[in-house]
Structure 1
Amino acid sequence: MRTFKPTRLILAGLVLAAFTSTAFAAPPAPFTATYQVSSGDQPMGEATITLKSLGNGEYEYSNQIQGTSGLAAALGASSSDVTRFRWNNGAPETETYNSKTVALKTKQRLMQVNWNTKQVSVNDGKGTGTYAAQPGMIDRNILSLAIGLALREGRNGITLPVGVKQQVEQQQFKVQGTEAVKVPAGSFTAERVARTNSDKHFDGWYVPKQFALPVKIAQSDGGNLTLELVRYRSP
């Protein structure tokens, strides 16, 4: 059986279809989404993702995964990824990102962005590194939300500056076509999005007129995991 590797709930981005802009038309609405997490055909856990408005253009995005089956449950495996971001010039910008993974050992990472000095600091328990921030920069935790917002605006080519451990990556995604997909939440006609500038496998199936997040995700980054939507609630 494979070792549970909690995901970071994936994905990302915006820009026009020609990759020329990163602005969204409107901020996202709060929601709670629950996913079934599996590896191959083996169920492993459950992910709960929430978006809350904190007022004054500030938001909190939380992705909590708990191992509920097999070795993941036996190890008490879990992950917690929490991002606080601001809505600035029609786009999200990360302010803080706090990640914690518990399995055989605990791993933590804290990213902080000082938009006054335009500096990013990242501490993973082995020291703090810094690099320059870029306008519209987000983190890997809110990538899937950013992709959904871009698709909502009718975009099919998506590029986003993503702050990682030591630098800002320009990650690119593109709509590959429309496909029928069945998940616990129901059957949908979805837009399949794939990352195009990396060998890290990612596919996300989106129904942007209904949900800000994908109804299904398959990825290799953080483990060969599949997430399927169980339920999605908006206030």
Structure 2
Amino acid sequence: MTSLLPRAILTGALALASLPALALEPFVATYQAYNEGKLAGSAKMQVVQNGGNRWRVDLGIRGTRGFARLAGLNIEQSTLFDAVGDAYRPLSQATIKHALFSGKKISGTYDWNALSARWQGDVKKTRSAPVPLRDGDMSSLLMNLAVIRDAQPGKSLSYRVVDDGRVRDYQYAVADQTEIVAVDDLSYDAMRVARTNGGNDETIFWVANGVPTPVRILRRENGQDTIDLRLVEYQGVQ
């Protein structure tokens, strides 16, 4: 295992635009988890190669006691997928949500021969029917990796996400210039990637050259910060 501690990412938008997309590689990343601007826990994202073109991406968010009281914020997610060329194709998806007095377990299977996906477990009845698939469809977790793969200054990004028994379209705009993102005493020169079709439900990624995972992931509702993940360490796995 080779340690790659966070560091300031130098250069700007012009240099970033001239570099090739970052290849998919195994890694483990640790985040500070904030809720409404207050430090409330931690998160871990990892990508594991299962052999050949098969990979798995996991995200787990663990909160303090007060953080855990908010339903849906203590969560574990995982997507098994194939990486063929630059395409990430989901094969299965699982979500476990921990709440104070209850929890939910949901699993989904993507059948690319039948071009159909289906979820079971604690899924709403309205989302239990098969969902038609199209080439390029991804899970929510895979979109995190796709943003790393695709972000270039000034570029528009479009993703169709099939997850939890429903289909959602995500449109993002990458800023023309990079900006400094600070976490404690660390800083990154990063591209801001902001959703443009979410209405009052915003998601913003910050992507830095050479870092295989977003350096920050911020969710906002009605103009207010909600969940905010800030990268504090990552390791590439050989």
8 Å contact kept, 2:32–2:231: yes
- 1: CA distance between counterparts of 2:21 and 2:189? 24
Corresponding residue number in structure 2 for 1:112 = 109
Inter-CA distance 155–124: structure 2 relative to 1 (3 Å threshold): farther
For residues 94-113 of structure 1, what are the structure 2 equivalents within 5 Å? 94-104=90-100, 105-113=102-110
For residues 6-155 of structure 1, what are the structure 2 equivalents within 5 Å? 27-67=23-63, 69-72=64-67, 78-104=74-100, 105-126=102-123, 127=125, 128-151=128-151
Q: Report how far residue 137 of structure 1 moved.
A: 1.1
TM-score (norm 2): 0.79
- 2: CA distance between counterparts of 1:86 and 1:198? 28
Corresponding residue number in structure 2 for 1:225 = 227
Corresponding residue number in structure 1 for 2:11 = none
Which structure's CA Rg is the greater one?
A: 2
Which runs of no fewer than 5 residues in structure 1 stay unpaired?
A: 1-23
The Cα offsets for residues 48-92 of structure 1, whole Å up to 9 and x where unpaired, read as 11100011200011111111x351267897311011011135310
- 2: CA distance between counterparts of 1:184 and 1:210? 20
- 2: CA distance between counterparts of 1:191 and 1:26? 14
CA RMSD of aligned residues (A): 2.5
Q: Report how far residue 164 of structure 1 moved.
A: 2.9
The answer to which of 97-106 and 185-194 deviates more is 185-194
Q: Report how far residue 32 of structure 1 moved.
A: 0.3
- 1: CA distance between counterparts of 2:172 and 2:58? 23
Inter-CA distance 55–142: structure 2 relative to 1 (3 Å threshold): same
Q: Report how far residue 155 of structure 1 moved.
A: 7.4
Kindly provide the amino acid, as one letter, of the partner of residue 163 in structure 2.
Answer: V
- 1: CA distance between counterparts of 2:88 and 2:60? 20
- 1: CA distance between counterparts of 2:43 and 2:96? 14
- 2: CA distance between counterparts of 1:227 and 1:80? 14
Corresponding residue number in structure 1 for 2:157 = 158
Q: Report how far residue 103 of structure 1 moved.
A: 1.3
